[in-house]
Structure 1
Amino acid sequence: MNIKFMKEIWQEAKQIDRQVSFLHKLISVYLNKTQKPLEGKILKKTLKLTDRVVDFLDKYGVDYWLESGTLLGVVREGRLLPWDHDVDITIRIEDLPRIINKLKSFHFKYGYRVEIVVNRADATPLKKGDVRLIKIQSRRLFVLPGWAQLDMFVKIKHDDKMYWSIRNRALKSAPAHFTDNLAVIEFNSRTYKVPKDSRGYLAYRFGVDWETPKKDYDNIRDDKSVEQLLDPLY
């Protein structure tokens, strides 16, 4: 990983992070523990947020794909899973320079909250300070985090695998061939990018019985892509 590039990413991450007060973060933690399902008005707002993010990525030529439970719901059921709480997409870390300086536009244009989350320690091949997640979230009453939320995972390719971490609790990986080539899927009256072998990718992540709904699925306990659990202080 280019050192100069990572320093630039780190500086941008710190600048954006300063915009989020400590109190705001406490409120976010509370809301994340009391998230509402993707139904009704929350679903509509989440779909609108997703379309805005996808249009933003397309505008700047950044490849993305629907990820995790979002991909599962769209492929298996043609919808976002109602018991889910957000939308997940993925981009590659080498595409970050195209958008890192432009993320603030979500705040100024739509009033969304943007948070850049970095790795707090090394977890080979991930490095401390690497951006691991970009969280884009609606607001309520101008200052409170809203219920519509999108998580943009940032993955790195190493030795024919794609690596990422979640919630600083687990290092995950999946064969890169699943996402080296992308396709499109129709959903919500438009197209979205997905892994070309979406069914194979879902079987790798969720198991061969991925077409059977599991509302109690745990993304660490049950995800086949977990490579190692991380130290709680990670």
Structure 2
Amino acid sequence: MIKKKKLALILGIVFGIVLLDQVFLHFWLSQPDTNFKRSLDIDDVRQLIQAGKDARVTTILFDPVILEAWHSNSDVAVPGVCIFLCHVIGPLTFAVTAAQLRDKPFFLSRLAQLGFTITLFDTSDGKRSHVFLFRHGSPLHLTVLDVNSAAGYLRQYALTGPPHNMAQVKQYITKDAWDQIKVDRAYERLTTKDVKIDGVDLTVPSDISTFVNDYRDAHFIPCNESRATYYNLKHMKSETPDEIRFKHKAWKLLGKAKTILDQLKVPFWLSSGTLLGFYRQCDIIPWAMDVDIGIFIEDYTMRIIPEFEKRGLRLTHKFGRLSDSLELSFKEENIKLDIFFFYTEGATVWNGGTQAKTGKKFKYIFPTFSLCWTEFLDLKARIPCQTEEYIRANYGPSWFTPVRQWDWKSSPPNVIENGVWPEAQWSDVIVVKE
């Protein structure tokens, strides 16, 4: 009886391994690029980790597919069997910080001593961005993370370089992985922990679920400094003391709103005039007199109002309701923060507006968009990835030309009338506290 139970257990383990292998194999075969080597030599991984220890460089396993698979099946382990690391799709990715790579050059020389062929990639301004290591199996990939201490995030620069080097590594990378490393990316600062995967001692993010979600939404779009310089040379005059004070207060208000919404885990993005200022001049528009952000209605929580008021932001307006045209306005030091809530409707999204005196409703229609990260005045914030399309919808083709007179009910090219709130509902949908 005992022998039968042992046999059943062994068969179950073997079946599980085979099933897991088939899942990975099916995923690999479904990729559009299949010229790369699939096999990874586990000893290459061990040698990379050892080189890091020798040079006192922390190499973090940074591969979301492998981390997610292991995290979901961490109890699956068979001595002598490589289950996770040996089923890599494209190169296995690790991360190192730019500071460690710069300050400890022995790391790369040690890798060369261990038999790795090293291909380095730098940005146009000389910052190291990616390293590929070729040895026995498929290559290992080191993504170099630049620590932004002011805004508190990790920056990964896009892979760029000589065409022959790009062609060399592309053959080992799936289309999805190639798309990921061909754009700038940003991640939250992370802590790490030591684990054992397939018998190899590795360092991984402490919260793997959070890391995987962060990785999926990490696309970063930097502010275009050249465009901002051109705009300032063409249009900007000396700012008045009042305008300078406004910009400083608006920046503080945006930072406070970010802190609160981040704590509530409510994603938001720069919208309207605040987004225009970022995109056009990498700054706050000095005569805007308010701060504008957007939130998808699905991310609304009733905790927003009490948390904002607890931090000294006074609710001045509440228009609409959760199902239709919700809008909140807060004030701090006479600077207004408008929170526009966006609704999805077919191939468009829209936010509402309400005229307090008449109850008239308005709708501002935008093409659908996804969200990317940027850095705005030392704040890591989201923006629509399709930034210019969003701005053109809101401000028209002449968005680059400054306009000081703006009527929120008629000036935007994407505004349409959307009916009238019945007077019987005004006490609920038109709340003015000023």
Q: TM-score range by the shorter chain?
A: 0.5 to 0.7
Match of 2:380 in 1: 191
Shift of 1:77: 1.0
Bigger Cα Rg:
2
1:1-234 matches, cutoff 5 A: 39-97=243-301, 100-108=302-310, 110-115=311-316, 117-119=318-320, 127=323, 130=324, 132-138=326-332, 146-168=333-355, 169-178=360-369, 181-228=370-417, 230-231=419-420
Contact map agreement 1:66 1:89 (CA 8 A) in 2:
yes
What TM-score do you get using the length of structure 1 for normalisation?
0.67
Secondary structure of the structure 1 residue equivalent to 2:344: strand
How far off is 1:199 after superposition? 0.8
Quick one: structure 1 residues 215 and 42, their matched pair in 2 at CA, closer, same or farther if it must change by over 3 Å? closer
Distance 1:113 1:229, change over 3 A: same
Is the contact made by 2:325 and 2:353 (CA closer than 8 Å) also made in structure 1?
A: no
Q: Which amino acid aligns with 2:267?
A: D
* Aligned-partner SS, 2:334: strand
Equivalent residue number for residue 197 of structure 2: none
Q: Is the 8 A contact 2:364 2:416 kept in 1?
A: yes
1:26-62 per-position Cα deviation (integer Å, ceiling 9, x unaligned): xxxxxxxxxxx97233332221121111122222222
Give me the whole-angstrom Cα distance separating, in 2, the residues matched to 1:191 and 1:102: 20
Mapped partners of 1:149, 1:50: distance in 2: 10
Conserved? CA contact 2:351–2:365, under 8 Å: no
Instruction: Report the CA distance between 1:198 and its aligned residue.
Output: 0.5
Q: 1:52 to 1:111 in 2, by over 3 A?
A: same
> What does residue 27 of structure 1 align with?
none
Q: Over aligned residues, Cα RMSD in angstroms?
A: 2.6
> Kindly tell me: are residues 116 and 214 of structure 1, through their superposed partners in 2, closer, same or farther at Cα, counting changes over 3 Å?
closer
Determine the C-alpha separation between the residues in 2 that align with 1:224 and 1:186.
Answer: 28
Distance change in 2, residues 1:50/1:38 (3 Å) = farther
Q: TM-score, normalised by structure 2?
A: 0.38
2: distance between equivalents of 1:176 and 1:62? 22
TM-superposed CA distance for 1:133, in Å, is 1.2
SS of match in other structure, 1:156: strand
Task: Give the unaligned 5+ runs of structure 2.
Answer: 1-240, 427-434
1:38–1:81 CA contact under 8 A, matched in 2: no
Gaps of 5+ in 1: 1-36, 121-125, 139-145
Q: Closer, same or farther in 2 for the Cα pair 1:223/1:102, shift >3 Å?
A: closer
CA separation in 1, counterparts of 2:419 and 2:274?
A: 24
1:197 is displaced (CA, Å) by: 0.9
Counterpart CA distance in 1 for 2:409 and 2:253 is: 26
Conserved? CA contact 1:68–1:88, under 8 Å: yes
Report the more deviating stretch, 200-209 or 217-226.
Answer: 217-226
SS in 2 for 1:133: strand
- Structure scoring higher RCO (CA < 8 A, sep ≥ 6) equals 1
Aligned to 1:6: none
Q: Name the amino acid aligned to 2:265.
A: G
Aligned residue for 2:262, secondary structure, equals: helix
What is the deviation of 1:162? 1.5
SS of equivalent to 1:210: coil
The alpha-carbon deviation at position 76 of structure 1 amounts to: 0.3
State the Cα deviation string for residues 5-28 of structure 1 (Å, max 9, x = none).
xxxxxxxxxxxxxxxxxxxxxxxx
* Alignment length (residue pairs): 179
Aligned partners of 1:102 and 1:93: how far apart in 2? 12
- Aligned partners of 1:228 and 1:111: how far apart in 2? 34
1:115-167 Cα offsets, whole Å, 9 max, x none, are 461328xxxxx85xx461121211xxxxxxx3122111112112222222223
The question of whether the paired residues in 2 share the 8 Å contact of 1:161 and 1:173 is answered with: no
SS in 2 for 1:57: helix
1:170 Cα offset (Å): 4.3
Tell me which moved more, 168-177 or 146-155.
168-177
Q: Is the 8 A contact 1:170 1:220 kept in 2?
A: no
Tell me the amino acid that sits aligned with residue 137 of structure 1. K
Larger CA deviation: 187-196 vs 38-47: 38-47
Partners of 2:376 and 2:243 in 1: CA distance: 16
Change in CA separation of 1:164 and 1:66 when aligned onto 2, cut-off 3 Å: same
Residues 1:170 and 1:213: Cα distance change in structure 2 (over 3 Å): farther
